[in-house]
Amino acid sequence: MAFPGTLGRSIAVALFALFGVVAAFATIAPGREAAEPLPSTSLVVEPLSLQAREVPLVGAYVQEEQFKRGDTLASFLERLGLDDSAIALLARSPALRVLRPGSQVRADFSGDGSPTAISFLTGRDTLVKIQPQGDGFRATEEQASLETRVTMKANVIKSSLFAATDDVGIPDSIAMQLADVFGGDIDFHRDLRAGDHFTVVYELYQLNGRAVRAGRLLAAEFVNKGRPLRAVRYGSSYYGPDGKNLRKAFLRSPLEFSRISSGFGMRKHPIQKTWRTHQGTDYAAPTGTRVRATGDAVVEFAGVKGGYGNVVILRHNGQYSTVYAHLSRIGVRRGARVTQSDIIGYVGQTGWATGPHLHYEFRVAGQARNPLTIALPAALPLPASEVASFKNEAAPLISRLDLVAQGSLAQLE
């Protein structure tokens, strides 16, 4: 995860600033292929919290540093501003052994430069505080009270989804949830176009006004080639504003969406042309990229087969089967049951392949077909008894999406 400008920065002196600011409004020129008017601004709406930090003592100060890969405890404590005698004592403290690369550590000093507290958040969301006591230090650990803020961000895609999310500081986990939620409708490796745009509403956990990590994606809009799609979280699933389940019988892409695989997503692969030449779809991706079952299935074949090289064939309900070829490694056995999104193998170039790629086929009654042209069974909609409760919960989230869709910044303030 990346929170540019918050965790990554080291602050030498205590800041008495206002945390959480509305920032970065960049106008982005729409791409040539944009099929509809785009929002003229890229909105970044951070929650506003007016917490002024108090100065405990005159001359007291705070130093913050990030524990980095390759740091030794001693070198890190020195960078944090501690003197040799404190380092000698603290380097033996078991409380500091839980530090991991990326941990943000705060040291409070009194006016004469002696440490009054060293504190940091652990991966278990506990706050460790180490304070001087007698000739040494004493550590306490307590549950941190994280605040949950609902954050909304939006941007236009120019080169890739990750470039667009990085641009406005959206954490990777949210970018991947976004790709997951719309994975039944959009192939994030092949369908994205410059000019596509999106809005995400998600939970952000904070400690003392600072972002710690992202939580769940609560609502999202994705406009792909001019087609708007919306999702709202309800229970543990995502539904359209009308209560239609967004989960589909088949994922649009057999590749797991990640930073590694996404760089290939904007390449030109006209699906029609690919289709005529070999009855399938090729996904260029680095060797080792994870390959997912696009639907619930039983493994019909897992092994080597002529030009396919290492291949997995899945049999789904009804007449459907899917084929995943040229794998470097196979992750399933014949006869095994798999559910949608399970990893079944890894991209490679076995068989007749000139470079690492996944050859994917969608078959109906044994015949390779273009899945885009076939009406596929839909997942169950929300039960009628749940609709009223869903609409109630979804309304405020949908109105947030509407605000961005209307490009109305004034209403957000």
Q: Which residues bind Zn ion (CB under 5 A)?
A: 278, 280, 282, 359
Residue at 12: amino acid letter: A
Nearer to Zn ion, 149 or 359 (CB): 359
Closest contact distance (angstroms) between CB of 312 and Zn ion is 15
User: How would you classify the pairing of strands 290-292 and 343-346?
Assistant: antiparallel
Coil/strand/helix, residue 396: helix
Beta-strand (E) ranges in 249-384? 281-284, 290-292, 297-305, 309-315, 320-327, 329-330, 337-338, 343-346, 357-364, 367-369
The Cα 327–Cα 290 span in angstroms is 10
Nearest-approach distance from CB 269 to Zn ion, in angstroms? 11
* Amino acid identity for residue 202 in this structure: Y
Q: Which is nearer to Zn ion, 9 or 278 (CB)?
A: 278
If the CB atoms of residues 64 and 282 are measured against Zn ion, the closer one turns out to be 282
Q: Would you tell me how many other CB atoms lie within 10 Å of the CB of residue 54? A: 7
Q: Report d(CA 169, CA 3) in Å as an integer.
A: 6
Pick between residue 362 and residue 390 the one whose CB is nearest to Zn ion. Answer: 362
Smallest distance, Å, CB 303 to Zn ion?
18
Residue 390 near residue 243 (C-beta atoms within 8 A): yes
- Measured from the CB atom, is 192 or 284 closer to Zn ion? 284
**Cβ atoms of 181 and 229 closer than 8 Å:** no
Shortest distance, CB of residue 194 to Zn ion, whole angstroms?
26
Least distance CB 326 / Zn ion (angstroms): 8
Closer to Zn ion at the Cβ: 278 or 329?
278
Q: What is the maximum span of the chain, computed from C-alpha positions, in angstroms?
A: 80
Backbone torsion region of residue 81, taken as left when φ is above 0, otherwise alpha when ψ lies between -120 and 50, otherwise beta: left
- Is the CB of 316 or the CB of 326 nearer to Zn ion? 326
Cβ 362 to Zn ion shortest distance, Å: 13
CB of residue 273 to Zn ion, shortest distance in Å: 12
Separation of alpha carbons 209 and 147, rounded Å: 8
CB-nearest residue to Zn ion = 359
Question: Minimal CA–CA distance to 379: which of 266, 267, 238?
Answer: 238
Strand order in the sheet with 136-143: 61-66, 104-109, 115-121, 126-133, 136-143
Query: Taking the complex as a whole, how short is the minimal distance between the CB of residue 324 and Zn ion, in angstroms?
Result: 11
Q: Which is nearer to Zn ion, 110 or 279 (CB)?
A: 279
Count CB atoms within 10 A of the CB of residue 247: 17
Nearer to Zn ion (CB atom), residue 265 or residue 280: 280
Residue 273, helix vs strand vs coil: helix
The least distance separating Zn ion from the CB of residue 277, rounded to whole angstroms, comes to 8
Residue 54 structure tokens: 């108090």
Residue 213 vs 359, nearer CB to Zn ion: 359
Strand ranges in 70-123 using DSSP code E only, listed in sequence order: 104-109, 115-121
CB of 282 to Zn ion, least distance (A): 4
